[in-house]
Structure 1
Amino acid sequence: MAPFPPFEPHGPRRGSRLREIPLRLIIPNLVTVMAVCAGLSGVRLAFEQRFELAVGMVLLAALLDAVDGRVARMLKAASNFGAQMDSLADIVNFGVAPALVLYAYLLDRAGAFGWIAALLFAIACCLRLARFNVMLEDPDRPAWMADYFVGVPAPAGALLVMLPVYLGFLGVPLNTTFAFVGSGFAVAIALLMVSRLPVYSAKTRGTRIRRDIVMPMILGIVLYVALLFSFTWHTMAATAIAYLIFLPFSAQAYGKRARREEQAGDTPVE
């Protein structure tokens, strides 16, 4: 008898049994594992007072998490095992790691209030991910609602909650007042994550774009990446603030869409 159970990507009773697993089925899971390693390494670096590297590792974890699902689809390697693993990894990468990095950098100056804020954010991330998984299995949810998240998604929440860290890197004094402000901000982001605020998602827009916007899009991406490498924390702070400004417009667009769908007799306005 082998010392380890066989790898069953679709569960013990689903899918075809393979004597040997193709490497393409394992690659997305390896990307997910590397994302977890990056997130946990960010926590270690934070407690070693190497905060810029710590934030960089959390951002790398977010990037790898965004990539693993796409890699799985490109390689036709999506599996139940990978989906469950990705969901569990998100709790570490978008809940635990950002909360601990933020606490080690700033919130510990607020004492128990800072720890409570970090704790609430991590728990809110878990609740947000659990609700997202449940909603994926809802057969009665209208198709057009897939264009919107319910609440701020976990990856965006992780990038937003570290806005005080970006500002600290830009020279904002790390005093007790700023720590309490950061604690309140972390709680506010936690509430946005578990709220019913509709947030636009571009995932359902497909992979095709209009020919007339290809060149501007490429130039825009190049400009953003250049700014990110040249003025990293300015760019991250501006990105977080722009995302917060975008949220009311997203809710307004959702309301208009819901009214149109109601008039068409598709679904009632929530």
Structure 2
Amino acid sequence: MNPETPQERIETTESIKRGIYILPNLVTTASMFAGFYSLVSTLNGDYYMAAILIFISAVCDGLDGKVARLTGTTSKFGVEYDSLADVVAFGVTPALMVYSWALRPYGRLGWLAAFLFVACGALRLARFNVQVNTVESKRFVGLPIPAAACMVAATVLLFHHLNRFPQELIQNPSMFKRVGLITLIYLLAFLMVSNIRYYSFKDPALIRRQPFGFLMLAVVLLIIVVAEPVVMTFAIMLCYTLSGPIGFLLGWPRRRRLEKAMRKGHESLRQ
């Protein structure tokens, strides 16, 4: 945590004394409430509802910042409160859900994987708060914690959707599927604290005029999502999760060329 200067501490204290903005913080509270209710559903064994509530929490989390910006009610208090709510809704909640649902038989390895997910999510949020003014807004550094939580929730929903199989297979995933899940948790934890960049969907160009073909593509995609919402939600989350590593690998040759060019430039300057 960056130490605040005395002046910044005084300004923060005075700002809180004057009051806080209700509307955006109320939306943040709704996100945290959905995350907490997801915890309750997990404890009650209702993993389907727990996964749905994580997505509801993610929607609220996406709205609070937009509400604050549209109403001109952004504040440092709101930023910190949002991060604390995210630790609950997208860190503790999905970790407990996937541990209770599939990782419990692994014993220590299972709960350590769940804890690693929570710890990496908290570290990801702390790094985001520190770098928020120094990193371009079009890209996230590391997988955002709401996306990681939604990936876990989408996996649970996909298993629940496959109720064509015996119910025992849904409630008690096979050993092969458990291995896949614990691997997924470790992978998501690594991606959250990595330096791999992800698209943030905050590009203003997205709301500008686009070719007619983009509208047709969006309509077709909407029809496919409505036809198979669970499968498509899982596919979309998986594509977004993999987009970072794929983009990193595709951009590796270009980065190597830039590094070599910079190295040559430094050597020529020394000579």
Aligned partner of 1:165 among 153, 156, 160: 156
Q: Does 1:239 align with 2:236?
A: yes
Can you list the C-alpha shifts for 1:55-111, whole angstroms capped at 9, x where unaligned?
110110011001100001011111111111001111111111111111222222333
C-alpha RMSD over aligned residues: 3.1
Contact 1:110 1:176 in 2 (8 A): no
Structure 1 portions without partners, runs of 5+: 1-9
C-alpha distance in structure 1 between counterparts of 2:215 and 2:38, whole Å: 31
Q: Does the C-alpha gap of structure 1 residues 30 and 127 become closer, same or farther in structure 2, counting only changes over 3 Å? A: same
Structure 2 portions without partners, runs of 5+: 1-10, 267-271
Can you list the C-alpha shifts for 1:7-58, whole angstroms capped at 9, x where unaligned?
xxx732349x75xx69xx2111000001000011011112212221111101
Q: Which moved more, 1:249-258 or 1:128-137?
A: 249-258
Contact 1:108 1:179 in 2 (8 A): no
Q: Does 1:61 align with 2:73?
A: no
Q: Which moved more, 1:255-264 or 1:129-138?
A: 255-264
Aligned partner of 2:66 among 58, 66, 70: 70
Q: How many residues align?
A: 245
User: Higher RCO, 1 or 2 (CA under 8 Å, sep at least 6)?
Assistant: 2
Q: Does the C-alpha gap of structure 1 residues 100 and 178 become closer, same or farther in structure 2, counting only changes over 3 Å? A: same
Cross-structure match for 1:3: none
Q: Which amino acid aligns with 1:104?
A: S
Q: Which amino acid aligns with 2:40?
A: R
Contact 2:141 2:197 in 1 (8 A): yes
Post-superposition offset of 1:189: 1.0
Contact 1:40 1:97 in 2 (8 A): yes
Cross-structure match for 2:12: 11
Counterpart secondary structure, 1:119 = helix
Q: Does 1:211 align with 2:209?
A: yes
C-alpha distance in structure 1 between counterparts of 2:68 and 2:255, whole Å: 32
Q: Which moved more, 1:70-79 or 1:236-245?
A: 236-245
Q: Within 5 A, what are the aligned runs for 1:48-127? A: 48-127=44-123
C-alpha distance in structure 1 between counterparts of 2:223 and 2:89, whole Å: 25
Q: Does the C-alpha gap of structure 1 residues 124 and 84 become closer, same or farther in structure 2, counting only changes over 3 Å? A: same
Post-superposition offset of 1:166: 3.3
C-alpha distance in structure 2 between counterparts of 1:109 and 1:70, whole Å: 41
Post-superposition offset of 1:212: 3.5
Aligned partner of 2:26 among 22, 26, 30: 30
Contact 1:110 1:183 in 2 (8 A): no
Can you list the C-alpha shifts for 1:156-215, whole angstroms capped at 9, x where unaligned?
111223454133123374123322321121011101111111223332x226644243x5
Q: TM-score, normalised by structure 1?
A: 0.77
Q: Which moved more, 1:222-231 or 1:184-193?
A: 222-231
Q: Which amino acid aligns with 1:169?
A: H
Contact 1:114 1:179 in 2 (8 A): no
C-alpha distance in structure 2 between counterparts of 1:157 and 1:164, whole Å: 11
